[in-house]
Amino acid sequence: GKHTTRHSEIHYVKHNTYIIDTPGFSSLDINDIEREELKEYFPEFIEYNEKCRFVGCLHLKEPDCAVKNALSEGKISQARYESYKSNLEYIDSLQKY
- Residue spans of the domains in the chain: they are 33-95
- Phi then psi for residue 11, to 5 deg, are -120, 125
Q: Where are the alpha helices (DSSP H) in 28-77?
A: 46-49, 66-72
Binned at pLDDT 50, 70 and 90, residue 2 comes out as low
Largest CA distance in the chain: 56
| pLDDT (tens digit per residue) in 18-74 | 667 777 665 566 778 899 999 999 999 999 999 999 999 999 999 999 999 999 999
For residues 38 and 86, the answer to whether their CB atoms sit within 8 Å is no
Say which CATH superfamily domain 33-95 falls into.
Answer: Probable gtpase engc; domain 3 (1.10.40.50)
pLDDT at 75 (0 to 100): 97
pLDDT at 19 (0 to 100): 67
Check pLDDT > 80 for residue 79.
yes
pLDDT at 56 (0 to 100): 92
pLDDT at 82 (0 to 100): 96
